[in-house]
Amino acid sequence: MPTSVIDSAVYRDIFGTEAMRRVWSDENRIQKYLDFEAALARAQARLKIIPQEACDEIVKHCQVARIDFAKLKTQTERIGYPVLPVVQQLVALCRDGLGEWCHWGATTQDITDTATVLQIRESLDLIAQDLNAISDSLAALARKYRDTPMAGRSNLQQAVPITFGYKAATYLAAFERHKQRLRQLRERVLVVEFGGAAGTLSSLGKQGLAVQAELAKELGLAQPEIAWHTVHDRFAEAGCFLGLVTGICNKIAYDVKLLMQTEVEEVYEPFHEGRGSSSTMPQKRNPISCVYITALTGVVRSQVTALLNAMEQDHERATGQWEIEWIVLPEIFVLSAACLAQTRFLVGGLVVDEQKMRANLDITKGLIVSEAVMMALGPHLGRQYAHDLVYDICRQVVATGRPLVDLLAENAEISKHMSRAELAKLCDPANYLGQAGEMVDRVLALREAPPVSA
């Protein structure tokens, strides 16, 4: 019976996705081993290292459906690694001893790491689709609410006005950077591993690098400048990238959770009948996707730490650190896929209450634009004196509950320089948005760049 939320019959589509689980499944991993063996056979036959007849026979049997998984399990437990048992079964499937040419000059780590690279490539294609979809939704929000004023907040207190489009555009900019990172890391991560026993390709003599090059072409991967058996910055970079991606997802989720509070009510998660209900409180509309995003991000972050620990590999073959990757890489990718799926749902159907945003701008009786007043009075009274004067009047607003504009207009020093109409204009939050709109436009312009290929 499944014991992990990733494989749970109840939780698996909350804490994972079917597509990403398929990428990291036993069947797909073993197929990637076989893809490696088939590609190696074709490369070596082309270089006349192994007979073409042997190549054809090996390739014919490189199908995961031909593998006996019960036997594979038993042999893996006995040997400690699954590659040799797969090779043994492949050899046995081939006729007339031709299978003996299988795995020629390769080692277990070559197959394991290259198979992982192939799984990562499939995973990154899925990640790219989600990044593009989330970016599309955030762009739509930024564009639609470009000029919709709301309270900016610092230390959970109202600061100065911003727009909701500006807020969405800050998220969008991060996702555009994620798309850049993904384009850049592909060339560093999607690299074949083929080095033989200690990485020097000694078993193939002077033909080693030629075989490596042909193998890379067969698999559609880059050729490394040198073996990387125990230098695993490639896998660590992929994990750290997902740590960054999920971190921004959680930033969005955190903001939405706070904006959904009863005392705020400016945005909501997409509505579905019964979603977020309480078993005892009928009025509740709890954040659900946001909660899962936060949980998923926390676990991804901890697993990325484990992946970084796995980089401490000794000499030319690691003594235990390598196996850490087997545990955490699938979890990092599956949990990240779930985090992105929840984020995609969240931003794709986010409910925005513009009226409540405006109402919340007014709850401080104008205090949110005190900076605007201070800056306008600065040329007349001096910046520091204007700051202190407005500060004192703000305290009066808090004490009396009267609107800031009234107290400003009643002040003799201020009224000498500004009429009530001018003060009223200063005290309208919609008039103190800086260049939020222009910044939104700058971020939206980034979308003209080519999308991440999926």
CB 315 within 8 A of CB 109: no
**What is the spatial distance between Cα 134 and Cα 152, in angstroms, rounded to a whole number?**
23
Q: What single DSSP character describes residue 270?
A: P
Query: Number of C-alpha atoms within 13 angstroms, CB side, residue 119?
Result: 31
Residue 160, SS3?
Answer: strand
Residue 158, SS3?
Answer: strand
CB 342 within 8 A of CB 295: no
| Residue burial 283-298, b: 16+ Cβ < 10 Å; e: rest | eeeebbbbebbbbbbe
Tokens 């890379």 correspond to 216
User: In terms of Cα–Cα distance, which of 341, 351, 256, 237 is closest to 296?
Assistant: 341
Tokens 């730490």 correspond to 305
Q: 337 is written with which tokens?
A: 């896929």
Active site residue 358: no
Q: Which of 4, 202, 278, 419 is catalytic?
A: 278
232: phi then psi, degrees, rounded to nearest 5: -105, 45
Burial class (CB within 10 angstroms; exposed 0-12, middle 13-18, buried 19+) of 399: exposed
Q: 431 is written with which tokens?
A: 């008039």
Q: Determine the distance from the C-alpha atom of residue 439 to the mean position of all C-alpha atoms in its chain, rounded to a whole number.
A: 24
Q: Which of 121, 183, 285, 317 is catalytic?
A: 317
Neighbours of 174 (CB within 10 A): 20
Active site residue 278: yes
**What is the spatial distance between Cα 404 and Cα 416, in angstroms, rounded to a whole number?**
17
Active-site residue set: 278, 317
